[in-house]
Amino acid sequence: MNSPYTPGIVPGRIDPSDLQENFSDLHPRFQAHEASVAADRCYFCHDAPCVTACPTDIDIPLFIRQISTGTPEAAARTIFDQNILGGMCARVCPTEDLCEEACVRELAEGKPVEIGRLQRFATDTLMAAGTHPYTRAEATGKTVAVVGAGPAGLACAHRLAMLGHDVVMFDARPKAGGLNEYGIAAYKTPDDFAAKEVDWLMSIGGIRLEPGKALGAELTLDALAEAHDAVFLGVGLGGVNALPVEGGDKDGVADAVTFIETLRQADALATLPVGRNVVVIGGGMTAVDAAVQSKLLGAENVTIAYRRGRDGMSASRFEQDLAASHGVKLMFNVQPKAVHGNGAAQELELEYTASAEGTLSGTGETFRLAADQVLRAIGQTLTTDAGLDRDGGKIAVTGAGRTSRAGVWAGGDCASGGDDLTVTAVAEGRDAAMDIHAVLTGGT
């Protein structure tokens, strides 16, 4: 039996039952009474700011009112009409930066209506019924290839199937779900929810999943475009930035996304190795997810090292506080300089930074942190643009996801514009589907 103090990267640092507890639901589902009390707080605002703040434009006051009148199933319909992945978004959306930040009760009392948890109450209620609320329109005879079965692809595929098109959905990985399945902290979506949600979504029919096929490998855009009436690319950002410092290739240095993916796919948490001293480099959600989970796996010391100040972090303040509350140390204005160690990482050398006229540079002052595991969460990149025009490292799109090539749409993290959020990807996939539908049925 190892302990948090065992040196190196080892599994089983804490008791398996504690591990189970650590990775339980971050925000357990509301009981009916809790939902009723929370729903009562909604003011049913006119042209509500929360709706404006929602990338998928869910009619939040309406669904909350439906909950408060005892019809959570109708509430779920209101949500799914706009966002078929409303169940996942209820779990992973940074609501503190979106709907709940805009809630007038946040302004009034510093305590917004708990929109995310109410959304989960509604969507869980309907999904627990085991039925699918939508039926397909009459078949159009058109087929669409959706590449990437993440949030954007799933939302696009569902909407297309609903409109009567046949969809073939490809994904490079063995399972559908994309980052929902592979890339989000386990405690945000326990009980295999991502996979269950995909099954539920696909139960509308008309969507055929072809796993293990990646664009640029098994698939080419030309062949896809040839074989289908339209193509939607929701391939995400599969590449990971390397750590361009001395010793950045030592053992113990790894990608945070791979760390999270391994954790998400693990059968037993007790088998997962984690360092005694973990340093995560980066300032986004992935950094927080990796850091918190390292701590939950039993690492003694976990540090997030971010090169800019707190305000520059793309992880929300809620996420930052979540990390801090789990004992993760947040260090700002530090950048990696070198990884030291004999073959395997032992220390990470960091340099303080300062920002002058928008340019970040090292101050020359350095220090070292014990680090037997260094996780890179410094951004992800497009693996292939498939010959399409780019915009800032992403596939350039205009309007509802139209790429530079006619008949090819793109959305989600791989496409230009929008935040790299699940909910944004859903909105882009949905909107692209509506545009594809318009084109395929005689629009422009």
Partner 1 sequence: MADLTSDFLGIKSPNPFWLASAPPTDKEYNVRRAFEAGWGGVVWKTLGAEGPPAVNVNGPRYGFIHGADRRVLGMNNIELITDRDLFVNLEEIRRVKADYPDRALIVSLMVPCEEQAWKDILPLVEETGADGIELNFGCPHGMSERGMGSAVGQVPEYITMVTEWCKTYYSRPVIVKLTPNISDIRRPAEAAKLGGADAVSLINTINSIVSVDLDAMAPEPTIDGKGTHGGYCGPAVKPIAMNMVAEIARNPATAGLPISGIGGVTTWRDAAEFMALGAGNVQVCTAAMTYGFKIVQEMISGLSQWMDEKGHTRTSDFVGMAVPNVTDWQYLNLNYVTKASIDQDACISCGRCFAACEDTSHQAIAMSGDRKFSVIDEECVACNLCVEVCPVENCITMVRQAPGTVDPRTGKLVEAEPADWTAHPNNPSRVAAE
In this complex, which beta carbon is closest to partner 1, that of residue 48 or of residue 162?
48
Distance CA 197, CA 84 (A): 9
In the complex, least distance from residue 316 CB atom to partner 1, rounded to whole angstroms: 22
Q: Does 65 bind partner 1 (CB under 8 A)?
A: no
* 173 CB neighbour count, 10 Å cutoff: 19
The pairing of beta strand 373-376 with beta strand 380-381: unpaired
Q: Give 17: exposed, middle or buried? Use CB within 10 Å, 0-12, 13-18, 19+.
A: exposed
Nearest C-alpha neighbor of 262 from the set 375, 395, 399: 375
User: What are the angstrom distances between the C-alpha of 103 and each of 65, 111, 386, 389?
Assistant: 15, 9, 41, 38
Distance CA 368, CA 338 (A): 9
Q: Does 37 bind partner 1 (CB under 8 A)?
A: yes
Structure tokens at 425: 């990807």
In the complex, least distance from residue 55 CB atom to partner 1, rounded to whole angstroms: 19
Tell me which of 10, 26, 45, 74 binds partner 1, using CB under 8 A.
Answer: 45
Tell me which of 3, 21, 24, 44 binds partner 1, using CB under 8 A.
Answer: 44
Distance CA 225, CA 227 (A): 6
**Count of residues near partner 1 by CB under 8 A:** 15
* 64 CB neighbour count, 10 Å cutoff: 29
In this complex, which beta carbon is closest to partner 1, that of residue 104 or of residue 344?
104
Q: Does 108 bind partner 1 (CB under 8 A)?
A: yes
Q: Does 31 bind partner 1 (CB under 8 A)?
A: no
- For residue 246, the 8-state DSSP code is B
For residue 302, what are the β-bridge partners? 278
In the complex, least distance from residue 36 CB atom to partner 1, rounded to whole angstroms: 8
In this complex, which beta carbon is closest to partner 1, that of residue 53 or of residue 291?
53
In the complex, least distance from residue 104 CB atom to partner 1, rounded to whole angstroms: 4
In the complex, least distance from residue 63 CB atom to partner 1, rounded to whole angstroms: 17
Q: Please list every residue from 158 through 187 that binds partner 1, using CB under 8 A.
A: none
The pairing of beta strand 207-211 with beta strand 359-370: unpaired
Q: Which stretch binds partner 1 (CB under 8 A): 80-88, 104-112, 245-253, 281-289?
A: 104-112
Secondary element (H or E) of residue 424: helix 422-440
In this complex, which beta carbon is closest to partner 1, that of residue 36 or of residue 404?
36
In this complex, which beta carbon is closest to partner 1, that of residue 50 or of residue 395?
50
In the complex, least distance from residue 44 CB atom to partner 1, rounded to whole angstroms: 7
In this complex, which beta carbon is closest to partner 1, that of residue 75 or of residue 377?
75
In this complex, which beta carbon is closest to partner 1, that of residue 59 or of residue 300?
59
Tell me which of 4, 11, 49, 190 binds partner 1, using CB under 8 A.
Answer: 49
In this complex, which beta carbon is closest to partner 1, that of residue 54 or of residue 260?
54
> How many angstroms from the chain centroid is the CA of residue 129?
26
In the complex, least distance from residue 108 CB atom to partner 1, rounded to whole angstroms: 4
Q: Does 40 bind partner 1 (CB under 8 A)?
A: yes
Structure tokens at 83: 């966002």
In the complex, least distance from residue 111 CB atom to partner 1, rounded to whole angstroms: 12
Order of strands across the sheet that contains 347-356: 334-340, 347-356, 359-370
Q: Read out DSSP for 363-418?
A: EEEEEEEE-SEEEE-S-EE-S--TT--EETTEE--BTTTB-SSTTEEE-GGGBSSS
In the complex, least distance from residue 229 CB atom to partner 1, rounded to whole angstroms: 40
Q: Does 32 bind partner 1 (CB under 8 A)?
A: no
Q: Does 214 bind partner 1 (CB under 8 A)?
A: no
Q: Does 107 bind partner 1 (CB under 8 A)?
A: yes
Q: Which stretch binds partner 1 (CB under 8 A): 105-113, 246-254, 323-331, 391-399?
A: 105-113
* 254 CB neighbour count, 10 Å cutoff: 19
- For residue 10, the 8-state DSSP code is B
In the complex, least distance from residue 102 CB atom to partner 1, rounded to whole angstroms: 10
Cβ 173 vs Cβ 150: under 8 Å:
no
For binding to partner 1 (CB under 8 A), which residues are involved?
36-37, 40-41, 43-49, 104-105, 107-108
